[in-house]
Amino acid sequence: MQEEERVLKRVVIIGGGPSGTVCALHLLKNAGAHPPEVIIFDKKPFSHYGPLGCNMCAGLISHTVLETLEALGISVPASVIQRKVKSHFFETRWGGVSFENEPGTTLYTAYRGMGPLDPRGEEGLGFDQFLLSSAVDSGAQHIQEMVSSLELPSNPIKSIRVKYGNNKTIEADVVVVACGVNSDFPRVLKEAGFGYTPPATFHACQAEIPLEEEEVNNWFNNSVKVFSLGLKGISLGAITPKRRFVTVTVLGAHVRRADLERFLLHPTVSRHFPPNWNLPDKYCHCHPKVATSTAKNPVTHKLMVVGDAFISRYLKNGIESALYTGTTAAKAILEGKISREELLQHYVKPCRERYHLDNYYGKLLFKMHDLFARHYWFVVPRLQMVQEEAKKKDWKEKPETQVLWHLFTGSAPYRSILSRALSRSFATSLMREYLNTIKKRLKGKPPSKEQKP
Ligand SMILES: Cc1cc2nc3c(=O)[nH]c(=O)nc-3n(C[C@H](O)[C@H](O)[C@H](O)COP(=O)(O)OP(=O)(O)OC[C@H]3O[C@@H](n4cnc5c(N)ncnc54)[C@H](O)[C@@H]3O)c2cc1C
């Protein structure tokens, strides 16, 4: 860009979720002596209980998210953390296995808003509210209004006009759109005329199920439970423990609340709850969209789309990818790389290189996982493999445990998970357990359907 265009006075960020707030934090903490004015628009009342104040997710926070925040000098306080996750439990139609985290890593759970409707004394601070407050403490201005439209100038030297609230307008040198995929704004952007096409999405369904804290301790024991039961329309289910609730998530192209209840009342799922547990008549639930592909044309002159509205890791660890795109956008802005061509090179390229192709491997892995979960001969040898691996000390000698852990936490590129799953040592171990399964079947041992969770 020309030198006179590079003086950056005001950055407007549309959306105060993780991608928007981390972009603001990076800008303010790394701009040196004269940071630009950073304004974050978000109407969501993050201090409200229930879906109204929540960015609707299971709330599993990976260690890489905390590391990114630490690098910005932000430590997530204990009041935000609901639980430290120590293990995962993988449940199938033929039994389940538990496995601990990769050594040296910790996962946490948190609410994205203040917590469920009817919080029953559940207190704390939501993750998004904490990030937004941190950005404000670092110098950002938060305007609690909805942005309704953008006016892109025909002359690129001129500012972008941002319309918000009740017909108010503000001018911005740079606009960062961090609106996620759960509002109408992706459609507004599409109509702005620079070629943006939002990512494809499908629905998830989530519920916050109330339990006593002791019941969560006894029955979930700081473990995230992942279910591959081959149920019609539900590709994956998960239960994420909070302090006095558990978050139940079901994924599938057309899942509805009825599917979530069908999942919860399935005997293999309900036996993970205390014996006297019944599905409450009323519970906090939501129906958010999940981004499943990459948006087209996410940048134009002085404007970039970040987070889910551009690209995110397929189905897992979306907060981490939101932080990555937000940070990469902030770096490009601070380097003055804000023309369309520069943004394509310095922002879009690294983000696509990290996630775009890898998400195809992710889709393949989840498809294979879903397909295999329906067949006894694929499931049982893998469960036995994890059980055998539990006896070993060295994480490197646990190929199937690694595959499942990375798949469920999204903490490694999908390509590397796939190549591990196709490695010779993996195939050898799987073959051994496959033969063991055949031997057991020949001896007449029934499949271990009733394994205790
Ligand atoms: C069911 C489900 C479970 C998930 N579980 C996890 C998980 O356990 N761990 C994980 O890491 N990821 C998870 N994710 C993914 C994660 O939620 C997203 O990847 C992440 O929130 C994306 O962040 P973002 O900032 O791009 O968008 P969002 O978090 O969606 O934030 C967008 C913000 O923009 C605001 N906004 C929208 N339009 C406007 C407008 N016009 N004006 C002003 N503000 C606007 C919204 O109010 C919102 O606050 C899950 C997703 C789903 C759907």
Express each pLDDT in 186-234 by its tens digit. Answer: 999 999 999 999 999 998 999 999 999 999 999 998 999 999 998 999 9
Q: Where are the domains of the chain?
A: 3-59+124-200+295-359, 201-290, 371-442
The β-bridge partners of 150 are: 162
Residue reference for tokens 């307008």: 169
15 three-state secondary structure: coil
308 pocket-lining for ligand 1 (C-beta < 6 Å):
yes
Q: How far is the CA of 50 from the centre of ligand 1 (A)?
A: 15
316 pocket-lining for ligand 1 (C-beta < 6 Å):
no
For the ranges 72-86, 126-140, 363-377, 432-446, which has the lowest average pLDDT? 432-446
55 pocket-lining for ligand 1 (C-beta < 6 Å):
yes
Structure confidence at residue 452 (pLDDT):
42
Residue 394 confidence (pLDDT) above 80? yes
| Amino acid, res. 98 | S
C-alpha–C-alpha distance, residues 19 and 264, integer Å: 32
CB 337 within 8 A of CB 384: no
C-alpha–C-alpha distance, residues 441 and 361, integer Å: 34
Return the residue whose CA atom lies nearest to atom 50 of ligand 1: 57
319 pocket-lining for ligand 1 (C-beta < 6 Å):
yes
Residue 82 confidence (pLDDT) above 50? yes
Return the residue whose CA atom lies nearest to atom 49 of ligand 1: 17
For the ranges 30-34, 252-256, 322-326, 432-436, which has the lowest average pLDDT? 432-436
20 pocket-lining for ligand 1 (C-beta < 6 Å):
yes
Average pLDDT over residues 417-430: 83
C-alpha–C-alpha distance, residues 187 and 203, integer Å: 17
Average pLDDT over residues 296-308: 98
How far, rounded to the nearest angstrom, does the alpha carbon of residue 347 sit from its chain's CA centroid? 21
Angle at 317 between CA 311 and CA 319, to 5 degrees: 70
59 pocket-lining for ligand 1 (C-beta < 6 Å):
yes
Q: How far is the CA of 247 from the centre of ligand 1 (A)?
A: 16
Structure confidence at residue 6 (pLDDT):
56
Structure confidence at residue 1 (pLDDT):
54
**Nearest atom of ligand 1 to the alpha carbon of 307:** 26
185 pocket-lining for ligand 1 (C-beta < 6 Å):
yes
Give residue-wise pLDDT tens across range 424-453: 777 787 788 778 877 777 777 655 544 444
Q: How far is the CA of 356 from the centre of ligand 1 (A)?
A: 19
Average pLDDT over residues 15-42: 96
Average pLDDT over residues 59-76: 94
Q: Which residue among 308, 315, 327, 407 is best mutated to probe the pocket of ligand 1, counting the most ligand atoms within 8 A of its Cβ?
A: 308
User: Which residues have C-beta within 8 Å of that of residue 97, sequence separation ≥ 6?
Assistant: 89, 90, 383, 386, 387, 390
53 pocket-lining for ligand 1 (C-beta < 6 Å):
no
Structure confidence at residue 446 (pLDDT):
54
Q: How far is the CA of 325 from the centre of ligand 1 (A)?
A: 13
Pick the CATH number of 3-59+124-200+295-359 from 2.40.50.100, 3.50.50.60, 3.20.10.10, 3.40.720.10: 3.50.50.60
Long-range contacts of residues 357-361, Cβ cutoff 8 Å, at least 24 apart: 357/415, 358/313, 358/314, 358/413, 358/414, 358/415, 359/293, 359/294, 359/311, 359/313, 359/314, 359/414, 361/413, 361/414, 361/415, 361/417, 361/418
Give residue-wise pLDDT tens across range 98-117: 999 999 998 999 999 988 98
CATH top class, domain 201-290:
alpha beta
Q: Which residue among 21, 55, 141, 149 is best mutated to probe the pocket of ligand 1, counting the most ligand atoms within 8 A of its Cβ?
A: 55
Structure confidence at residue 453 (pLDDT):
42
110 pocket-lining for ligand 1 (C-beta < 6 Å):
no
Give residue-wise pLDDT tens across range 229-285: 989 999 899 999 999 999 999 998 889 999 999 999 999 999 999 998 999 999 999
Return the residue whose CA atom lies nearest to atom 38 of ligand 1: 179
Residue 38 confidence (pLDDT) above 70? yes
For the ranges 77-86, 148-157, 421-430, which has the lowest average pLDDT? 421-430
Helical H segments across 266-398, by residue range: 267-270, 318-334, 340-343, 349-372, 376-389
The mean of the pLDDT values for the chain is 92
Structure confidence at residue 401 (pLDDT):
94
Structure confidence at residue 427 (pLDDT):
77
Percent of the chain exceeding pLDDT 90 equals 77
132 pocket-lining for ligand 1 (C-beta < 6 Å):
no
Average pLDDT over residues 78-91: 95
179 pocket-lining for ligand 1 (C-beta < 6 Å):
yes
Residue 171 confidence (pLDDT) above 50? yes
Q: How far is the CA of 42 from the centre of ligand 1 (A)?
A: 12
Structure confidence at residue 351 (pLDDT):
98
Q: What is the radius of gyration, based on Cα positions, of the chain?
A: 23
